[in-house]
Structure 1
Amino acid sequence: MIEPFRFEAPQAALDDLHERLDRARWPERETVDDWSQGVPLDAMKALVEHWRHRYDWRACEAKINALPNFTSEIDGLPIHFIHVRSAHQDALPIILTHGWPGSILEFLDVIDPLTNPEKHGGSAQDAFHVVIPSLPGYGFSGKPADTGWGVERIANAWAILMQRLGYGRYVAQGGDWGSAVTRMMAAQRPEGLEAIHLNMVIVFPNAGEDNSDAEAQEAIAVANAHKRWGLGYSTQQSTRPQTLAYALADSPIGQAAWIYEKLQAWTDNDGRAEDALPAEAILDLITLYWLTNTGGSSARLYWESFSTAFGDSPIELPVACSIFPAEMRRPPRRWAERVFSNIIHWNRLEKGGHFAAFEQPSLFVSELRNAFRKIR
């Protein structure tokens, strides 16, 4: 039921990528001097030049394959996951869930600090056994051929996976879609789930309440700006993902721009995505989407669940929240307390954005250690 997994991209696929990049037909330059119309032409050309002439996918592939990778069929779909056990047998099992346009790659730099804490400023009591699945339709997991793979079904699949791995007691963590899946797990309360941690916290103010304080005003302004300028991608993916899929499957530059824009918009940077993430890491993520042809299949999760993913169902399990300063939603704690009745950790960080583990692995690890010490 659990099979070892290894990925090796056919050389023909890499050659095809290079040929497509060489044949690129570029649009005209934007009519502004910033990113307000999308990825600027000069920035896109620079990224593609790096991709074509200096980037090495095989280095990323080697990092992935150096870890214990597996697949297991759950509810009729092959689910890929990384599973790294700590040398400490009493370590706390944790399942980490990525979002869009993320992947398992976001978590590669936190695996060793979580499983071997003494090497990274922690103690043996901080150790975790780490499970990192690829969402259905993402990365190396199977692509659903029928409707129904929304967050509820994914949350149930993750509970089955943890049970299948023999973990009778565990915690869950997520951001972006991972936040929605993790919250749904807490709402479903599968046997063994003890607590959750979120690094994207979507909760809402009550109508008519006094939100004149600075923290609430900032939260409202940030949310309104995202609604005004940041939801075009999600409207497309939640309504017509198949139409989008043709462009993303056929054009590597189109796929790259679709992701690169969000890495610039959602990371804690000084104007460039490369301020927050190395160019190699950016291209690792983009190339993973390209080689697995998951632009369309990953978008369908929005069609399945976007309108219902972040409801206000009460959560009684212990909840830990880390609010990063460049996150697209930064609510005050009192909004969250109406949904989460047992908040065990709440912290506002000084740096970092939407891709917390990817951008700030040390801070991310510290947050998980501090949060889950309370339930060990």
Structure 2
Amino acid sequence: MTETPFKISIPDAALERLQKKLELTTLPDELDGAGWDYGVPLADVKRLVSRWTNGYDWRHHEAQLNATFRQFTRPIAVDGHGTLNIHYVHQRSEVANAIPLLFVHGWPGSFIEARKILPLLTTKSANHPSFHVVTFSLPGYGFSEAASKPGFGIEQYAEVGHKLMLALGYNEYVTQGGDWGHAITRKIAQVYGGKHSKAWHTNMVMGQPPQGDAQTELTDKDKQLLARTEWFRKKGSGYMQEQSTQPQTLGYALTDSPVGLLAWIYEKLVNWTDKYPWEDDEVLTWISIYYFSRAGPAASLRIYYEAVGPHKAEGERGFVGGAAPEIPLGLSHFPQELVVWSRKLGNIVFEAEHDSGGHFAAYEKPNELVDDLRKMFGQDGPAFGVVPGKSGYPTEGKSGTLAHRNSKNRTMMAETPFKISIPDSLLDRLKKKLELSTLPDELDGAGWDYGVPPADVKRLVSRWIDGYDWRYHEAQLNATLPQFIRPIDVDGHGTLSIHYVHQRSQVANAIPLLFVHGWPGSFIEARKILPLLSKESEEYPSFHVVVLGLPGYGFSEGATKPGFDIPQYAEVGNKLMLSLGYNEYVTQGGDWGHAITRKIAQVYGGKYSKAWHTNMVMGQPPEGDIQSEMTPQDKERLARTEWFDKKGSGYMQQSLSQPQTLGYALADSPVGLLAWIYEKLVNWTDSYPWEDDEVLTWVSIYYFSRAGPAASIRIYYEAIGPHKAQSERGFTSSSPPEIPLGLSHFPKDILVFPKSWSRKLGNIVFEAEHESGGHFAAYEKPDELVEDLGKMFGQDGPAFGVVPSKSGYSLEK
């Protein structure tokens, strides 16, 4: 099959749809003085969105791209994946014996990365070699067709690149790449090296530490390079964890929300470069190529799952799999690359060190990168003449031979009854956004492997648009949950208006209990346990239940200053109980509720908090030979934890490192928010039979929340972010509380440990094991959880009478 000339031509309808979406943009709030600590600053996104909406001219930039790039498409057959229509740029030099070079981009790049190096590489000169350059859009990127079946990994991308070069008549060629381009050109060197691929060059220099005491051999510069790598590991790699485990789930937000896509990529453009002076139109053109891409932006994420996903063994992963290639390798070191360290990469014949530059070398430092390629392949270079008869110079005399060488100062102090009442304008806006929804495609037979299946999202979105009645569910929530708001002063953070549910029992001496939810929960988690806990019974104690809406969740006000951490959430919970007259009380919580009630027990235990109970049982392995002491059930527990660590924790890595960046997509795209939360509702429960309206109500509380959904994920950054020492982190910090502790084990929680590992959690007086149930115990297994609390605090229980004169029974037992 022959190549077909290609011009970018985005339909007017797509431009009009984008304009409508931008005009309906919903942005998250931002903490005071946050800067880049939490992700992309709000001011940057507002400025870019304003320009995108009014002033940015796609047609002008489209014409420029078409004038600059000689573009084509060509069908390429890929073993096991059929034939894909591949978009590429083919820029030939005037020099007949120019060196064929395949340039391979990565994520979040595209063919546009080669824009500046093309004229430099193809220039005719007697002083340096010239190249015929082929730049292809990876399948699923830009205007290349995407694979429709799972399993399209590094080998397949390499196959496409190699076959494209052969189809163009380049049977012998060299390659250059960074990011995934490194992994793909490395694979080309491994599989096709020698016969076809003659040398490779990369600007993303991966590596492994040498044997022995690596630290003693490190120079000061080495340590600076490793500090950059450590920054990326702690602060910048959350996107990778999510994209390698649940790319489809993230894909809904990036496909549906142009603002979410903008923030997601813009963060990388800024953080991964070395102070590159991005112009707004430059950024918007880069993003627009993703937004208007043939397969949609979600398709570009799947390479992470296929190459470095949890199903891949360490030795099979994209950047390190297989033996080092034997063909000549050139390295260009740029100090602000994501990972910068020493190497065992292959047959290194050329190496260059630069004083500045980052991840997108071809775009950011085009002159330096091209100069390195000229030196490597030039007449005095170590890879001169690697492609026979292709010296790169105007005359064959240079052919040579291969030389492998804000709510302050309120006066309202008493509680105020509260009813949920979402304005009609917000409902109308939601409907418009849903009707403009754009969904990603799906690989054949993918199921849940890549994240939430589109069939589920389509069904839920269809119901959300037509059939789901928010006003009905709003009325139900108001009728069943006695809600209030109250100002709570928080040290260093002013006064916050806190939303809570207060369900009093008819039993006068009922036990005061504070229930604390986590993420992605809300006050709705307590919906089923409230009537059970507060009812009068001769068998079990009764409770006055207070359900705290965490600041930044539901209808509680969010903090406006950084540093609102677990101690501050605990302070709000304790002060709320005291303001209600409950000077002595007990607590229950899971997820972040575990960390918060633990902190309450540490700080306020004894005087105020008298006992605590959790259904998220954390643990630490004991000293010695762990395996020999583990039962089959212990191993089953750890298998669930291992699943979460490998497959389910990407959201956490992103939330704890760059929550603001993710927040743009969740705030702007109701479909993205739906998919992001729905995945957890399904995967974190034990086959719970979610009804569509049930899911939509749960998600709607986040969508309509007072502070917006972005505020809810900042707890990860504050509590376990990269700036926190291990000893200061939310779930493990400080010594265990001394007050009585009760544990309820549910086998499908996200972190499940052998029972013996939980011995250091505190003063354990009660423990219950359940055969089924997951993360949202109060919602999924309300009867079981309430029974455990009844047994713990009941007349024959180990914590009976911990709250003086509050037995929970009508008559003193």
- Same fold at TM > 0.5: yes
Displacement of 1:222 after TM fit?
Answer: 2.1
Give, as a single letter, the amino acid of the residue that structure 1 aligns with 2:339.
Answer: R
For the pair 1:348 / 2:353, whether they are aligned, the reply is: yes
For the pair 1:169 / 2:172, whether they are aligned, the reply is: yes
Distance in 2 between residues matched to 1:100 and 1:339, nearest whole Å: 21
- SS of structure 2 residue aligned to 1:93: strand
Displacement of 1:209 after TM fit?
Answer: 3.1
Distance in 2 between residues matched to 1:55 and 1:148, nearest whole Å: 38
For the pair 1:140 / 2:143, whether they are aligned, the reply is: yes
Give, as a single letter, the amino acid of the residue that structure 1 aligns with 2:280.
Answer: A
Deviates more, 1:94-103 or 1:308-317: 308-317
Aligned equivalent of 1:364? 369
How does 1:1-376 map onto structure 2 within 5 Å?
Answer: 1=1, 2-66=3-67, 67-74=69-76, 75=78, 76-118=83-125, 123=126, 125-190=128-193, 191-206=195-210, 208-212=212-216, 213=218, 214-269=220-275, 275-292=276-293, 294-307=296-309, 308-311=317-320, 313-331=323-341, 335-336=342-343, 338-340=344-346, 342-373=347-378, 374=381, 375-376=384-385
8 Å contact from structure 1 (residues 91, 125) kept in 2: no
The percentage of counterpart residues that share the same residue type is 40
- SS of structure 2 residue aligned to 1:161: helix
Change (3 A) 1:32 1:174: same
8 Å contact from structure 1 (residues 151, 181) kept in 2: yes
- SS of structure 2 residue aligned to 1:61: helix
Deviates more, 1:109-118 or 1:127-136: 109-118
- SS of structure 2 residue aligned to 1:286: helix
Displacement of 1:207 after TM fit?
Answer: 5.1
Deviates more, 1:66-75 or 1:146-155: 66-75
Distance in 2 between residues matched to 1:264 and 1:300, nearest whole Å: 23
8 Å contact from structure 1 (residues 68, 84) kept in 2: yes
Distance in 1 between residues matched to 2:110 and 2:250, nearest whole Å: 20
- SS of structure 1 residue aligned to 2:133: strand
Give, as a single letter, the amino acid of the residue that structure 1 aligns with 2:260.
Answer: G
Distance in 2 between residues matched to 1:125 and 1:208, nearest whole Å: 42
- SS of structure 2 residue aligned to 1:167: coil
Displacement of 1:107 after TM fit?
Answer: 0.7
Give, as a single letter, the amino acid of the residue that structure 2 aligns with 1:358.
Answer: Y
- SS of structure 1 residue aligned to 2:232: helix
- SS of structure 2 residue aligned to 1:96: strand
Displacement of 1:187 after TM fit?
Answer: 1.2
Distance in 2 between residues matched to 1:112 and 1:254, nearest whole Å: 33
Distance in 2 between residues matched to 1:135 and 1:290, nearest whole Å: 15
Change (3 A) 1:148 1:245: same
Output one character per residue of 1:300-340: Cα deviation in whole Å (capped at 9) or x when no partner. Answer: 01011025011163121100010112111222xxx32x331
Displacement of 1:220 after TM fit?
Answer: 2.8
**Unpaired runs of 5+ in structure 1?**
270-274
8 Å contact from structure 1 (residues 150, 301) kept in 2: yes
Give, as a single letter, the amino acid of the residue that structure 2 aligns with 1:248.
Answer: L
Give, as a single letter, the amino acid of the residue that structure 2 aligns with 1:367.
Answer: D
Deviates more, 1:249-258 or 1:356-365: 356-365
Distance in 1 between residues matched to 2:31 and 2:134, nearest whole Å: 43
Deviates more, 1:157-166 or 1:67-76: 67-76
Change (3 A) 1:34 1:165: same
CA RMSD of aligned residues (A): 1.6
Displacement of 1:125 after TM fit?
Answer: 4.5
Give, as a single letter, the amino acid of the residue that structure 2 aligns with 1:35.
Answer: W
- SS of structure 2 residue aligned to 1:100: coil
Distance in 1 between residues matched to 2:150 and 2:292, nearest whole Å: 24
Displacement of 1:201 after TM fit?
Answer: 1.0
- SS of structure 1 residue aligned to 2:89: strand
Distance in 2 between residues matched to 1:111 and 1:144, nearest whole Å: 28
- SS of structure 2 residue aligned to 1:62: helix
Distance in 1 between residues matched to 2:130 and 2:279, nearest whole Å: 28
8 Å contact from structure 1 (residues 77, 144) kept in 2: yes
Output one character per residue of 1:34-54: Cα deviation in whole Å (capped at 9) or x when no partner. Answer: 212111111110111122222
Change (3 A) 1:329 1:19: same
Give, as a single letter, the amino acid of the residue that structure 1 aligns with 2:320.
Answer: G
Using structure 1 for the length normalisation, give the TM-score. 0.92
Distance in 2 between residues matched to 1:371 and 1:124, nearest whole Å: 13
8 Å contact from structure 2 (residues 225, 335) kept in 1: no
Give, as a single letter, the amino acid of the residue that structure 2 aligns with 1:172.
Answer: T
8 Å contact from structure 1 (residues 88, 124) kept in 2: no
Distance in 2 between residues matched to 1:117 and 1:363, nearest whole Å: 18
Aligned equivalent of 1:272? none
Give, as a single letter, the amino acid of the residue that structure 2 aligns with 1:298.
Answer: S
Displacement of 1:227 after TM fit?
Answer: 1.0
Give, as a single letter, the amino acid of the residue that structure 2 aligns with 1:141.
Answer: S
Distance in 1 between residues matched to 2:9 and 2:97, nearest whole Å: 34
Give, as a single letter, the amino acid of the residue that structure 2 aligns with 1:61.
Answer: E
Distance in 2 between residues matched to 1:207 and 1:226, nearest whole Å: 24
8 Å contact from structure 1 (residues 187, 314) kept in 2: yes
Output one character per residue of 1:140-170: Cα deviation in whole Å (capped at 9) or x when no partner. Answer: 0101110121111111221111111111221
Distance in 2 between residues matched to 1:266 and 1:353, nearest whole Å: 6
Displacement of 1:176 after TM fit?
Answer: 0.4
Using structure 2 for the length normalisation, give the TM-score. 0.43
Structure 1's consecutive aligned runs of 4 or more residues displaced over 4 angstroms after TM superposition are none
8 Å contact from structure 2 (residues 228, 336) kept in 1: no
Distance in 2 between residues matched to 1:179 and 1:230, nearest whole Å: 19
Give, as a single letter, the amino acid of the residue that structure 2 aligns with 1:7.
Answer: I
**Unpaired runs of 5+ in structure 2?**
310-316, 386-813
Change (3 A) 1:43 1:138: same
- SS of structure 2 residue aligned to 1:29: coil
8 Å contact from structure 1 (residues 268, 276) kept in 2: no
Distance in 1 between residues matched to 2:271 and 2:16, nearest whole Å: 31
Q: How many residues align?
A: 362
Give, as a single letter, the amino acid of the residue that structure 1 aligns with 2:307.
Answer: S
Distance in 2 between residues matched to 1:192 and 1:186, nearest whole Å: 9
8 Å contact from structure 2 (residues 206, 345) kept in 1: no
- SS of structure 1 residue aligned to 2:115: helix
Structure with greater helix percent: 1
Output one character per residue of 1:271-315: Cα deviation in whole Å (capped at 9) or x when no partner. Answer: xxxx43322221111011111253210000101102501116312
8 Å contact from structure 2 (residues 128, 374) kept in 1: no
Compare CA radii of gyration and give the structure with the larger one.
2
8 Å contact from structure 1 (residues 219, 330) kept in 2: yes
Displacement of 1:32 after TM fit?
Answer: 4.4
